[in-house]
């Protein structure tokens, strides 16, 4: 039996080799179809990996409350048909909101504030314009940040508003190329800060910053919130100029928010929407119904992005399936034509002892070989297309071994499926009639 299979395989290979141009043109449909499948799977894998990377950066089960710039609120007021919403006083996003949320919400795992400003930072004659972030230790766990050296803020640092800092890897490399940063002092604006920790480096994607407000943690300096409010800036403090401007609807556009952002991490994701609604109602009450904050759930935004990506992948899959279908039809047409052209050959083989099963196997193997030939070229085409997409666009396409194996299997299945009918036609030919054919 094995010898018959080998003989039929040799005859099939000879049949394909004797018509190289026709075999190549027939395999083009499979080539583009398989290439499209690999490229589509590569884009889908890259998109899923990108979403996982984003989740690792923003954390899971998070609700982000962001302060809205007062100038944006005034612009909205001007477009609200003259409705006077500015007369309502709002204390802005502040520490009181942070404390209230942590006390009221029972399903909180962690909660971190953020307030930032640019600061000219100096160390031994070197100067760097860096962002100084006032926050707490929950910030590092929420954002999955690890320490390269040093440790988080101590309770004493927070209670005493100590002038200490945790720096990103880029800041550490800039200032401390050949020395240990821990214990050293840097000067940010007019404040001397002692370094107590250095974060591990993390890859930063600029597109994430645009979509989800993720900053480059490598270039930031982190200090306790209390230290920031005491030694750098406290926008929530009432000044004489604020009192002079009381009662004026357009008395200025000073940013009155003490905090720029509050991130709440829940224990589970089942109540994200419900908790976001509770947070909104709490803050609206505390802000006198002044909508000067925005609430976002990054995990749900990513899920929406994933659904959009899945739709895009489905479109690509349909295109790839159509290409494979056209390629399979092309193989079937060419094999039917080949059967008609080689009717006499079929009659001779039958006359010398070949069975109908032998003829079927020969022509079926020819279809499979043509399909595999196109599939192998399609694999190379798909990998090359994925590399080009990654190199010249913002889309990351990741080719995996299983996608190549799947494409190879699809190519084989196409050859078997669309080659079976022509092979059966050849096997059912009448030997006597075939021998009479010129």
Locate tokens 């190329």: which residue?
Answer: 177
Helix axes 401-427 and 20-58, enclosed angle (nearest 10): 150
pLDDT level of residue 157 (50, 70, 90 thresholds): very high
Q: What is the pLDDT at residue 54?
A: 66
Tokens at 255, concatenated: 């940013």
Cα–Cα distance measured from residue 273 to residue 300, given in angstroms and rounded to the nearest whole number: 9
- Residue 185's pLDDT is 95
At residue 340, the pLDDT reads 73
Q: How far apart are CA 391 and CA 167, in angstroms?
A: 32
Q: Does residue 125 carry a pLDDT above 60?
A: yes
Token pair 């002038």 is at which residue?
163
- Number of separate helices (H) and strands (E) present in the chain: 16, 10
pLDDT at position 248: 47
DSSP for residue 1: -
pTM equals: 0.64
pLDDT(218) > 50:
yes
- Identify the pLDDT of residue 390: 84
Q: Which residues pair with 195 in a beta bridge?
A: 165
Ranked by mean pLDDT, the top range of 187-201, 228-242, 300-314, 353-367 is 187-201
Question: Tokens 């989740």 map to which residue?
Answer: 55
Return the pLDDT at 112: 94
Q: What is the mean pLDDT of the chain?
A: 80
> Which of 121, 135, 131 is closest to 186 using CA atoms?
121
Q: How far apart are the first and last CA of the chain?
A: 32
Scan for tokens 């010898």, then name that residue. 3
Instruction: Retrieve residue 387's tokens.
Output: 């590399």
More confident residue, 155 or 430: 155
Compute the distance between CA of residue 175 and CA of residue 125 in angstroms, rounded to an integer.
10
pLDDT at 301: 65
In order, the DSSP letters of 107-170 are: SEEEEEEEEEEEEEEEETTEEEEEEEEEE-THHHHHTT--EEEE----HHHHHTT--EEEE-HH
If you average pLDDT over residues 139-155, what whole number do you get? Answer: 91
What integer pLDDT is reported at residue 251 of this predicted model?
47
Share of the chain above pLDDT 70, in %: 80
Write the CB contacts of 30 (distance below 8 Å, at least 6 apart in sequence). Answer: 324, 327, 328, 331, 370, 371, 373, 374, 375, 378, 411, 414
pLDDT digits (tens, 9 = 90+) for 390-426: 888 777 788 888 888 887 787 778 878 887 777 777 7
Per-residue pLDDT tens for 29-58?
Answer: 788 888 888 888 888 778 777 766 666 666
Phi/psi of residue 75, nearest 5 degrees: -65, -40
pLDDT in tens, 312-337: 777 777 777 777 777 788 888 877 77
Residue 307, pLDDT > 80, answer no
In the predicted model, what is the mean pLDDT of residues 183-191? 93
For residue 250, pLDDT over 50 is answered with no
Give the integer Cα–Cα distance in Å for 361 and 140.
65
Q: 12 is written with which tokens?
A: 């099939």
CA–CA distance, 107 with 62 (Å, rounded to integer): 12
Residue 120's pLDDT is what?
93
Percentage of the chain lying above the pLDDT 90 cut:
29
Give the pLDDT of residue 391: 85
Residue 424 pLDDT = 78
Q: What is the mean pLDDT of residues 165-178?
A: 92
63, containing H or E segment = strand 62-67
**Given pLDDT bands bounded at 50, 70 and 90, which one contains residue 249?**
very low
Residue 326 CB neighbours (<10 A): 15
The mean pLDDT value for 297-325 works out to 72
**Distance separating alpha carbons of residues 419 and 331, to the nearest angstrom:** 7
Instruction: Specify the pLDDT at position 223.
Output: 96
Q: Which of 212, 191, 199 is nearest to 170 (CA)?
A: 199
Q: How far is CA 322 from the centre of its chain?
A: 27
Q: Rounded CA gap, 22 and 339, in Å?
A: 14
* 274-295 average pLDDT score: 91
350 against 45, higher pLDDT: 45
């Amino acid at each position: 039996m094995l010898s018959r299979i080998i003989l039929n395989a040799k005859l099939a290979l000879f049949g394909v080799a004797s018509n190289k141009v026709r075999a190549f043109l027939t395999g083009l449909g499979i080539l583009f179809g398989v290439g499209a499948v690999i490229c589509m799977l590569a884009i889908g894998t890259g998109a899923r990996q990108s979403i996982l990377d984003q989740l690792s950066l923003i954390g899971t089960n998070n609700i982000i409350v962001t302060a809205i710039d007062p100038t944006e609120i005034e612009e909205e007021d001007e477009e609200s048909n003259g409705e006077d919403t500015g007369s309502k006083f709002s204390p802005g996003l502040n520490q009181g909101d942070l404390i209230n949320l942590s006390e009221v919400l029972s399903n909180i795992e962690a909660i971190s504030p953020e307030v930032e400003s640019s600061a000219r930072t100096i160390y031994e004659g070197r100067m760097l314009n860096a962002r100084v972030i006032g926050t707490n230790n929950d910030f590092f766990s929420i954002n999955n940040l690890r320490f390269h050296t040093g440790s988080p803020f101590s309770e004493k640092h927070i209670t005493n508003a100590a002038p200490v800092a945790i720096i990103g890897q880029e800041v550490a490399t800039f200032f401390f190329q050949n020395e240990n940063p821990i214990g050293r002092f840097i000067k940010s604006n007019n404040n001397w800060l002692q370094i107590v920790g250095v974060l591990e480096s993390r890859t930063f994607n600029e597109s994430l910053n645009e979509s989800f407000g993720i900053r480059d943690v490598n270039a930031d300096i982190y200090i306790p919130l209390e230290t920031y409010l005491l030694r750098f800036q406290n926008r929530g403090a009432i000044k004489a100029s604020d009192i002079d401007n009381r009662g004026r609807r357009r008395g200025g556009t000073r940013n009155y928010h003490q905090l720029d952002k509050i991130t709440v991490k829940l224990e589970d994701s089942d109540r994200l929407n419900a908790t976001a609604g509770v947070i909104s109602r709490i803050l609206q009450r505390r802000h006198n119904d002044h909508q000067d904050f925005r609430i976002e759930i990054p995990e749900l935004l990513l899920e929406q992005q994933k659904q959009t990506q899945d739709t895009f992948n489905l479109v690509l899959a349909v295109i790839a399936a159509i290409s494979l279908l056209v390629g399979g039809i092309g193989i079937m047409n060419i094999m039917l034509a080949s059967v008609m052209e080689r009717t006499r050959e079929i009659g001779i083989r039958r006359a010398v002892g070949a069975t109908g099963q032998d003829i079927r196997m020969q022509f079926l193997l020819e279809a499979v070989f043509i399909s595999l030939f196109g599939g192998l070229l399609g694999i190379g085409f798909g990998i090359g297309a994925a590399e080009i997409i990654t190199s010249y666009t913002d889309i990351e396409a990741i080719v995996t071994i299983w996608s190549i194996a799947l494409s190879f299997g699809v190519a084989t299945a196409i050859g078997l499926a669309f080659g079976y009918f022509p092979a059966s036609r050849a096997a059912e030919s009448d030997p006597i009639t075939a021998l009479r054919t010129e």
